Amino acid sequence: MSRFTAPIAEQIWDMKYRLKQADGTPVDKSVEDSWRRVARALSASEPEHEAEFYEALEDFKFLPAGRITAGAGTGRNVTLFNCFVMGTIPDSMAGIFDMLKEAALTMQQGGGIGYDFSTIRPRGADVKGVAADASGPLSFMDVWDAMCRTIMSAGSRRGAMMATMRCDHPDIEDFIAAKADPARLRMFNMSVLVTDAFMDAVKSGGSWDLVFDGIIYHTVEARDLFNRIMRATYDYAEPGVIFIDRINQMNNLAYCETIAATNPCGEQPLPPYGACLLGSVNLARLVTDPFEAGAALDEAALDEIVATAVRMMDNVVDASRFPLEAQRQEALAKRRIGLGVTGLADALIMLGLTYGSDEAAAQTEAWMKRIARAAYLASVDLAKEKGAFPLFDAERYLESGSLVHMDEDVREAIREHGIRNALLTSIAPTGTISLYAGNVSSGIEPVFAYAYTRKVLQKDGTRTEEEVVDYAVQMWREKFGDRELPDYFVNAQTLPPMAHVKMQAAAQKWVDSSISKTINVPEDISFEDFKDVYLAAYQSGCKGCTTYRPNAVTGSVLSVSEASDKAPEIETGGDVVYISEPLDRPQALEGSTYKLKWPDSEHAIYITINDLVVSGHRRPFEVFINSKNMEHFAWTVALTRMISAVFRRGGDVSFVVEEMKAVFDPRGGAWLGGKYVPSILAAIGGVIERHMVATGFLAGEGLGLKSDPRAEVVNLGLNRPGPACPSCGQYEMRMVEGCMTCTACGHSKCG
């Protein structure tokens, strides 16, 4: 019997977490092999715990972040950490570009990164010694953005970045308005660092100074600036808001670090060079007697899994590689981990509780407190065994905001024995791992859709449809058949915004880092009511706030009927579909061969592109690149294999052209056909593009990915379908946990 409860779960495992050889041959024959590989790798220093680790992983009870599941025990030179905040950016040209290099190296190994750009002098400020004016932090963010587009991170994921700026920086208004240009800063999530003093000025109607280096550049009305932030978020879904003073006040390590940025999804506020690894307890798997009068969460099992998870994640700190030595030193000095939950909404449903109700909020707070207690006590036990984290200072640690409301027995244990991990809890995005675990609800989000239809192109060219069903809904069907869903089955589209805020605040009290969550608001919400959501988040103790309001700019979200557990069929609006396996090559294919002569090269390059016909339409299937110049041999063979592999996976593969055309050669490009081409790779990309245009796959030159599909959402069954997922081609992109995520394949804008 397969451990997977849904076809999509097995497909996610096969695509993202299953260990394979370079040629695609599976090493992990089953998901049990994957669990065993991870358990063995994380228990290498203490093999007596391997069986305990395996048991926690078994049946998806504990879900390490995808980077751990995919990388542990593989021998690959990758980091197992998900989140990084980079070093403080110096206000100098040399320092800025040193930071750019560090960012590239970190993203190359698969790390999502955050930066505070508040340290760069504002646009127009004097640059001493060169008789020039500064270009400002936004111009350097453009440089970061361009760099990120060219870096393919480990695991075939795009780099993900967070940019923050203080609310008192002189360029804050430009920062707020940056995403009004849909082509700018595509690779960034952006958030404003909002201080308590600013919120007080907003409340009192006071003025607000914009300051850098002690110099007041402008003075504005605080409410006007707040309204600018809110209007941009209302219209473009960015910037988010981070309540930075609260983060620093509640930080267990306030005595030895200052935080000014977060990772891309916001759940990990981190100091310079801070890193954190993530994992989630699957609450949906721990409910006994679901939907019955005696339904309950098995709290003893929860305590046991939390304790095991803390030990496993602590071992990851030592087992992982790091892109930079400064990141390794920071991680070892504080041993941060981010243990969270997924399946919360499903667990509440199984108990008959309505997400967003007072009862559900109280239950959420109680569960999060139990997890926090178990995690801290487990870390104390590790400190007894292995020692406290090196920067531990008992009195100052226990005076931190996050510890003051902890139970006295836990505080006393910390005082007596120390603690192994400075921070332990966080609620991270779990879009992909929640699909892998059987489509449980993500993180602490409500259920987004009870079910939806997914179309899959099979190897023989036929299409099949499969229903992807929420975990709790599937359990209800197995137990009660077609009986109508009770009223406590609610979804993200039917919940009032304040219900989201209530649940985020309930969880935040016992989370020592932060929470990645999206507050879905209706399109027709008034601007004043929209602002009230942020004010309520601040007043209720949240550390940040991210909303999503569908509109003509950001796109539409999934629409599900309250009365039905069935989602409407997908209106694809096109033939781009996800291919479950690479298609077999037919005996004969149609194609064309093109000659490319690069200046100063003795031999021409010949590019052959063969096409597959699907539903009467030609699409690229494979590429062959040949030249008599042996200097080109290795990279042309590699390029042939990589591009062909991408083409055979299907979906919108026009990004291959866009990425190749963006490659520049530091030695200089060449003029071809009256156009400057920055590199020979860009020239090959141009040839492939022209072929795609000639065969009708693209509408015209330059009409590939003109805007980032990952920055928009699409609907199911609405009249305004948006673009497809850039990874699998399905129309399943939606905003969840602060990040654009595909429910079909788990692709995430935030890496």
* Domain spans, the chain: 579-694
> pLDDT per residue over 519-550, tens digit each?
989 999 999 999 999 999 999 999 999 999 98
| Residue of 102, 238, 257, 267 with catalytic role | 267
Q: In this predicted structure, what is the pLDDT of residue 15?
A: 87
Please, are residues 713 and 555 in contact by the beta-carbon 8 Å criterion?
A: yes
Question: Does position 424 have pLDDT exceeding 60, yes or no?
Answer: yes
Lowest-pLDDT range of 149-163, 249-263, 350-364, 428-442: 149-163
Condensed to tens digits (0 to 9), the pLDDT of residues 690-724 reads 998 888 888 777 665 433 332 232 222 333 334 45
Query: Per-residue pLDDT for 679 more than 90?
Result: no
Q: What is the pTM of this model?
A: 0.79
Q: What is the amino acid identity at position 734?
A: R
Mean predicted confidence (pLDDT) in 143-167 = 75
The confidence score (pLDDT) of residue 705 equals 44
Residue 188: its pLDDT value, please? Answer: 92
Question: Would you state the pLDDT for residue 706?
Answer: 37
- Encoded tokens for 9: 């779960």
- Selected residue with higher pLDDT from 89 and 83: 89
pLDDT at 360 (0 to 100): 98
Lowest mean pLDDT among 312-316, 550-554, 682-686: 550-554
pLDDT at 570: 30
Alpha helices in 29-84 (DSSP H): 31-42, 50-57, 66-71
Residue type, 695: T
Window from 569-583, 684-698, 736-750 with minimum mean pLDDT = 569-583
Is the pLDDT at 34 greater than 50? The verdict is yes
SS3 606: strand
Element at 693 (helix H, strand E): helix 680-694
Give the residue with greater pLDDT, 183 vs 81: 81
Residue 709: per-residue pLDDT: 31
Rounded CA-CA distance 311/328 in Å is: 19
Task: Name the residue type at position 420.
Answer: R
At 576, is the pLDDT very low, low, confident or very high (cuts 50, 70, 90)?
very low
Q: Given this model, what pLDDT does residue 550 score?
A: 82
Q: Given the residues 83, 148, 167, 265, select the one marked as catalytic.
A: 265
Least confident of 294-308, 334-348, 494-508, 587-601: 587-601
Stretch 505-515: mean pLDDT, rounded?
96
Write down the pLDDT at residue 8.
87
The alpha-helical segments, DSSP class H, found in 65-158 are 66-71, 93-108, 137-150
Nearest-angstrom CA–CA distance, 626 and 605: 6
| Residue 263 annotated as catalytic | yes
Task: Assess whether pLDDT exceeds 80 at residue 221.
Answer: yes
pLDDT mean across residues, the chain: 86
Q: Could you read off the pLDDT of 352-363 as tens digits, one per residue? A: 999 999 999 999
* 256 catalytically annotated: no
Maximum Cα–Cα distance for the chain, whole Å? 80
Active site residue 265: yes
Angle between helices 137-150 and 93-108 (to 10 degrees): 30
pLDDT given for residue 708 in this prediction = 33
pLDDT at 560: 40
- Interval 594-637: pLDDT, tens: 999 888 777 889 999 998 887 667 888 889 998 887 777 788 88
- Nearest CA-CA partner of 116 in 244, 254, 220, 25: 244
Q: Is the pLDDT of residue 154 over 90?
A: no
Q: Which of 189, 248, 263, 715 is catalytic?
A: 263
Q: Note the pLDDT of residue 153.
A: 40
Q: Quick one: average pLDDT of 202-221?
A: 97
pLDDT per residue over 50-67, tens digit each? 999 999 999 999 999 999
Rounded to an integer, the average pLDDT of 647-662 is 78
pLDDT at residue 561 is higher than 60: no
| CB of 147 closer than 8 Å to CB of 103 | yes
Mean pLDDT, residues 446-470 taken together: 77
Please report which confidence band the pLDDT of residue 458 belongs to, taking 50, 70 and 90 as the band edges: low
Strand duo 126-127 + 112-116: pairing: unpaired
Q: What is the DSSP letter of 691?
A: H
Answer yes or no: is pLDDT of 273 > 60: yes
Average pLDDT over residues 676-693: 88
Tell me the pLDDT band of 678, cut-offs 50, 70 and 90: confident
Q: Determine contact, residues 668/661, Cβ cutoff 8 Å.
A: no
Given a contact cutoff of 8 angstroms between Cβ atoms, the answer to whether 746 and 432 are in contact is yes
The average pLDDT across 167-180 equals: 96
Mean pLDDT of 152-173: 78
Instruction: Tell me which of 441 and 597 has the higher pLDDT.
Output: 441
How large is the C-alpha radius of gyration of the chain?
26
Q: What pLDDT is stored for residue 131 in this prediction?
A: 65
**pLDDT tier, 412 (very low <50, low <70, confident <90, very high otherwise):** very high
DSSP state of 569: P
